[in-house]
Amino acid sequence: MELNVSHLTKEFKGAAAVDDVSYTLRAGVYGLLGVNGAGKTTLMRMLCTLIKPDKGCITWDGKDIFELDGQYRKLLGYLPQDFGYYPDFTVQDYLMYVGSIKGMRPATAKQRTARLIKQVGLEKEKKKKMKKLSGGMKRRVGIAQAVLNNPSILILDEPTAGLDPNERIRFRNLISELARDRLVLLSTHIVSDVEYIANEILLMKDGKICVAGTPEELLAPMRGQVWSMDVSKNKTGACRRAYKVANVKTTPEGINLRILSAQRPSENALPQEPALEDVFLHYFGEGAVEEDVSI
């Protein structure tokens, strides 16, 4: 089980949305992190054969996915940011309809539909029309349709968009259950979506994979570069211009800042254990400017 991306490039109107990306994915959960416009959706649409690359190739176990065509798509489950559905279909009818589109036998589709409705926690809503579901419930139906054909590859594009914190926790737990013996690629700009479930994390910026590795591998270089520091309110603005600030907290004494800096920013700054959000800020945050901040 190996999905290999080699020198993949896709341009729109002369600008590279995906720029010479190479990476190999195997069984496990991969988090694709990046700000909006980083190229995540374009990359995922190519992995799903919805658009063709201008350069490079994608292979599944050594064979070009566009040449495999339908044979590859049978292995694929995909949840786009906005998936289409008939609003007057019930949850159960919609999943049976998706099963017929995917070429599943009716008996198999019925069995899988019943099992997945339970797994995504929608048994009470199975007779409810899609248009009556909440946003979180619709996303759960979206996950169910993506795995209906028991795919080897599961690709999820911003799957928690618009979900409340409880729904995001439910989603993460569900993905962990579904990830056994599958390759799961989850695209998001919400760090907590992948922090605890991803085996590897890929950070994408300006169409390129700028860094990739296990969560521990990404955190290791940040040790000794994350600080907690108390400042007076009138120094907050200067600090935010001089450093990458991950968090600002008001305290009775003034302001506490979580700062990224290669050197200790002041004598009262205390070292902190880095988190994945610090890594995200390091690569995607605004660049600091040089300024004398006497604290």
**274 phi-psi bin (left φ>0, alpha ψ -120 to 50, beta other):** beta
**C-alpha span between 74 and 101 (Å, rounded):** 11
Predicted confidence at residue 286, as pLDDT, reads 57
What fold is seen in the domain 3-215?
Rossmann fold (3.40.50)
Segment 150-166, tens digit of pLDDT: 999 999 998 887 777 88
Q: Do 102 and 113 form a contact (C-beta atoms < 8 A)?
A: no
| pLDDT tens sequence across 243-254 | 999 999 998 878
Break the chain into its structural domains and give their ranges. 3-215, 220-284
- Of residues 182, 37, 163, 211, the one with CA closest to residue 171: 163
Euclidean distance between the first and the last CA atom of the chain, given in angstroms as a whole number: 55
Q: What is the pLDDT of residue 289?
A: 32
Token code pair at residue 172: 């993460």
The pLDDT value recorded for residue 253 is 78
- Model pTM? 0.86
pLDDT for res 135 = 84
Using 50 as the pLDDT threshold, list the residues of the chain that sit under it: 287-295
Burial class from Cβ neighbours inside 10 Å (0-12, 13-18, 19+) for residue 57 reads middle
